[in-house]
Structure 1
Amino acid sequence: MPQIVSRRLCAGYSLGSLVTGSFSTVPGLLLLPYLTDTLGVQAATAGLLVLLPKAWDVLFNPVAGRISDRRGSRRPLLLQGGLGVAVLFAALFALPAGGGAYVGVVFLLCATAYAFFQVPYVAMMAEITTDYDQRTRLMTWRMAVLALAILISGAGAPALRDATGGYQVMGLAVGALILLGTVMVYLGTRGVTAQSHVDAGAGFKVLVAAVRDSRHFRRLLAAFVIQATGVSTLLAGVDYMSRIVLRDPGMQTLLFLSFVGPALLVMPLWQRFGVRYGKRISFIVATVIFAVPMAGVAAAQVLPNSVIVALSAITGVGYSGMQVFPMAMLPDVITAEEERTGVRRAGLFSGVWTAGETLGFALGPGVYGLILAIGGYVSSTDATVVQPPSAVTAVLIGFTIVPMLLVVAALPLLTRKLEVVRT
């Protein structure tokens, strides 16, 4: 008999995506332009300031995973981490006079707090249900709320910034949204219990051995990280694309909505597609749907804005599937490893996974900042500064060609079976 997950639990768990969606989207979307065009930090340096705090999580997230495995219930740690993220995110944009150094330090603290939310949150899914299709259903709920969170924060944050003439109010508003998601997921997952086996060997050698011994996990993680880098590079370029290439700052919200909005409509379709054709095949299809129209957007300088928006919307359909299927496949891999070893490792694997995810979303702005620097982008506090043609080209390439190539580069990793047998 299938282990049906109640709608109450699906909704409660999925509300944690208000936290993950906001924290993954807004810094990737606005922190780089905040540094280059409000604080006047050079593009390459700004890219490093966005990259390094999240790169720290690559080392720290597995530690958070081991702590999560040892704590029993994951909910208290999740609550503490989420509260820290909410407060620190509001502080991130609160003091422009602090300059780039202040932003770097606060972002490092915020990323650390986020590890204590994200790791137990991801690990909890493997403990809610072991049923193959119910995990796809649960992940579809989560991805729908994630799409909504990305839509609200990604479209609302720039609009709020522009309406209030600065970043401070925006930071407070996004911090409040993170706080709401933290409280709601904590309350909504009451009754979710930890598994009985604790990871007895929580040292670094055990972590390395666990990842080394799970070929399916390594391939799935590598594909996800490569694609996360591509997507985050695209998101980092939305603000620059609208201002520099399209010469219409108002296009930022429209571009973002066209990219994320379709996810709210097609998530149920992806769920049915996954049940019929399998998660791996669906993942490959979603990747192709993402990449093909993005190649068309590379001709943005000669295309009408309406065509660019339409192509972005098709790309968004692929993006939604690229979010659902790797995350739905992860607990299958975790369960197979726990059954093979008889050891509780959901937190350990989730820590490594979230470290990779964090790295991917950190690399995007770093890559984009490097592309801007190579193109000669002029950082300034003067909004009227004229960019050289090479910088315009760099903005366009970073928004289209680079994300497309990165996403497609993950396809060879998906040519072999990654899923466990249905249970």
Structure 2
Amino acid sequence: MALSVGQKAGWGLADMGIVVFVIVKQLLILNFLTAFLGVPVGVAGLVTTAVLIIDMITDPLIGYLSDRTNGRWGRRAPWIFWGALVMAAGMVGMFAVPEGLGSTGNLTWVIAFFIVATIGFTMVAIPYSAQAGEITTDPKERSSMTGFRMAFASIGILIGGALIPGLASGFGYATAALLVCPLVIGAIWLSIFATRNAPRGEAPEDISVARAFGMVMSNKPFIVLVMIYGIMTLAVALITAGLPFGALYLILDNGETALSGAAQALTVLSLMFAAFVVGSILSQAVWVLLSHRMGKVMALALGLVLYMVLLYVLYRALPSVNVTAIAGLFVIAGFTNGSYQQIPWAIYPDLMDITRRESGIAIEGAFSAIWLFGQKLANAVAPAVLGLILASAGWQETTEGAVEQTQGALETLQLSITLIPAGILGVACLALVFVYLPMQRRALG
């Protein structure tokens, strides 16, 4: 049965809420710890990584259980419903640090609520991602669904990367997070309602956790794609984690360009994310079309090449006092990032079909857990990598938002958000074309 436009768009809507937290953990936690709580950047990076690694332990269990959970509004829906509340509460809590706790108390408070928020994120993200493989088996419909999803995800990026920092500059981070919670929870709950009548796979037969994940691991093209997507995510997560520092130290508004007023009103960071989101939203239909014309893998490879070119241009342009020119580059960055956002999520459900066809067993939750494992591992490693790189260059933490940095530290930051990620994307692109693509062709015929 074909999905209606409302069902496809409704399914995609949930990612608007999910991505808000993804951006918060990638973009704001490391900067919040170092620039406002005075935690050394190396320590902050390692702590952030440790929390996200702990969270990955819950992924297989929630994926396995979601395969076996039915609710009034569909399979897996109870996990998504309650997870939205847990994620939102944890997101607010980790910024609501009471005064007088001291450095150790501050760090402990943030860690505790970060763990709560990441568990809530897992409760939502794994069952939600699993639905992509069960509500349709048509590859073109999956591309269309993913296009809707990533358009809404772009709005989530805007909320997490532009709206929250903008609100935080006036009201503080905790209040800013609280103000966007209705958008986060509402998007996820509306998605549950919109897809309540969408097709659902039957719950799998009673198989063990070990057998379920053994079946996933035996799907070699899927595992290779997980690794490649993890490599791509590492590059993007490095950029995201370093961007708040770049907005403070490398993009210096001189007040003389067309968007200077916007930069002063929104903050430079919010303006850059707004520009990025414009490019991302504009790109979604283009990447769907190119996926149909070129095939998903080659369209993704094209996007990665364009992304690398953009990062090189950005490296040459920074540091800059022209916020208008840099915002223009961020529009293009959003366009190229659209391929990374959209296409892998349209590819991986196709690979679930291999296992379902061979075994007759639907274990989309187990697949989703492994898929997100690669993404979460990369997102966990990135803050530690960036923190160690900046610490080795003598980066200075502060409680005032900004402090004078050495020229060497600034040059290292510039490399960390441009050429280093470009090199990582190059590795992913080569692996995609020369390792994954031949495997996919053999597996799918």
- The 2-side partners of 1:302 and 1:339 are apart by 53
CA contact (8 A) 2:68 2:203 kept: no
- The 2-side partners of 1:188 and 1:86 are apart by 21
- The 5 A counterparts of 1:192-231 are 192-198=198-204, 200-204=206-210, 206-207=212-213, 209-231=214-236
Shift in Å, 1:41? 0.3
Gaps of 5+ in 2: 100-104, 254-262
Q: Is 2:336 aligned against 1:336?
A: no
Shift in Å, 1:96? 4.5
Shift in Å, 1:193? 4.8
User: How many equivalent pairs are there?
Assistant: 418
Shift in Å, 1:312? 2.7
Shift in Å, 1:370? 1.7
Q: 1:261 maps to what in 2?
A: 278
- The 5 A counterparts of 1:260-409 are 260-301=277-318, 304-383=322-401, 385-409=403-427
Q: Percent identity?
A: 27
- The 2-side partners of 1:59 and 1:199 are apart by 24
- The 5 A counterparts of 1:103-182 are 103-164=110-171, 166-182=172-188
User: Which residue identity lines up with residue 341 of structure 2 in the other structure?
Assistant: Q
Shift in Å, 1:194? 3.6
Shift in Å, 1:305? 4.1
- The 2-side partners of 1:237 and 1:63 are apart by 32
User: Which residue identity lines up with residue 322 of structure 1 in the other structure?
Assistant: Y
CA contact (8 A) 2:136 2:199 kept: no
Larger CA deviation: 392-401 vs 133-142: 392-401
1:93 to 92, 95, 101: 95
Larger CA deviation: 11-20 vs 37-46: 11-20
- The 2-side partners of 1:413 and 1:58 are apart by 25
Q: 2:23 maps to what in 1?
A: 25
- The 2-side partners of 1:402 and 1:323 are apart by 19
Report the TM-score when normalising by structure 1: 0.94
User: Which residue identity lines up with residue 16 of structure 1 in the other structure?
Assistant: A
Gaps of 5+ in 1: none
Q: 2:82 maps to what in 1?
A: 80
User: Which residue identity lines up with residue 82 of structure 2 in the other structure?
Assistant: Q
Larger CA deviation: 233-242 vs 310-319: 310-319
User: Which residue identity lines up with residue 29 of structure 1 in the other structure?
Assistant: L
Shift in Å, 1:140? 0.6
Q: Alpha carbons of 1:272 and 1:384: their partners in 2 closer, same or farther (altered >3 Å)? A: closer
SS of the aligned residue for 1:136 comes to: helix
Q: 2:8 maps to what in 1?
A: 10
CA contact (8 A) 1:85 1:175 kept: no
Shift in Å, 1:227? 0.8
Report the TM-score when normalising by structure 2: 0.89
The two structures, once aligned, show a CA RMSD in angstroms of 1.9
Shift in Å, 1:384? 5.2
Larger CA deviation: 298-307 vs 177-186: 298-307
- The 2-side partners of 1:100 and 1:44 are apart by 13
CA contact (8 A) 2:280 2:331 kept: no
Larger CA deviation: 382-391 vs 117-126: 382-391
SS of the aligned residue for 2:134 comes to: helix
1:376-412 residue CA offsets vs partner (Å, 9 max, x unmatched): 1111113452112222122211111222122221112
User: Which residue identity lines up with residue 230 of structure 1 in the other structure?
Assistant: A
- The 1-side partners of 2:110 and 2:180 are apart by 16
Q: Alpha carbons of 1:302 and 1:23: their partners in 2 closer, same or farther (altered >3 Å)? A: closer
Larger CA deviation: 313-322 vs 122-131: 313-322
- The 1-side partners of 2:310 and 2:65 are apart by 43
SS of the aligned residue for 1:190 comes to: coil
1:270-303 residue CA offsets vs partner (Å, 9 max, x unmatched): 1111111110111101111111110121123465
User: Which residue identity lines up with residue 145 of structure 1 in the other structure?
Assistant: F
CA contact (8 A) 1:15 1:145 kept: yes
- The 2-side partners of 1:131 and 1:352 are apart by 22
User: Which residue identity lines up with residue 126 of structure 1 in the other structure?
Assistant: G
SS of the aligned residue for 1:15 comes to: helix
- The 2-side partners of 1:106 and 1:30 are apart by 14
Shift in Å, 1:106? 1.0
- The 2-side partners of 1:366 and 1:257 are apart by 26
CA contact (8 A) 1:94 1:171 kept: no
Q: Is 2:192 aligned against 1:186?
A: yes
Q: 1:43 maps to what in 2?
A: 41
User: Which residue identity lines up with residue 299 of structure 2 in the other structure?
Assistant: S
User: Which residue identity lines up with residue 370 of structure 1 in the other structure?
Assistant: L
CA contact (8 A) 1:74 1:194 kept: no
Q: Alpha carbons of 1:192 and 1:322: their partners in 2 closer, same or farther (altered >3 Å)? A: same
- The 2-side partners of 1:22 and 1:384 are apart by 25
SS of the aligned residue for 2:191 comes to: helix
- The 2-side partners of 1:397 and 1:305 are apart by 19
CA contact (8 A) 2:135 2:201 kept: no
SS of the aligned residue for 1:177 comes to: helix
Q: Alpha carbons of 1:137 and 1:384: their partners in 2 closer, same or farther (altered >3 Å)? A: closer
Q: Alpha carbons of 1:302 and 1:212: their partners in 2 closer, same or farther (altered >3 Å)? A: closer
Q: Alpha carbons of 1:22 and 1:302: their partners in 2 closer, same or farther (altered >3 Å)? A: closer
CA contact (8 A) 1:85 1:111 kept: yes
CA contact (8 A) 2:167 2:176 kept: yes
CA contact (8 A) 1:59 1:355 kept: no
SS of the aligned residue for 2:29 comes to: helix
1:79-129 residue CA offsets vs partner (Å, 9 max, x unmatched): 111111111111111125341111011101211121111111000111111
Q: Alpha carbons of 1:129 and 1:206: their partners in 2 closer, same or farther (altered >3 Å)? A: closer
1:120-143 residue CA offsets vs partner (Å, 9 max, x unmatched): 100011111111101111111111
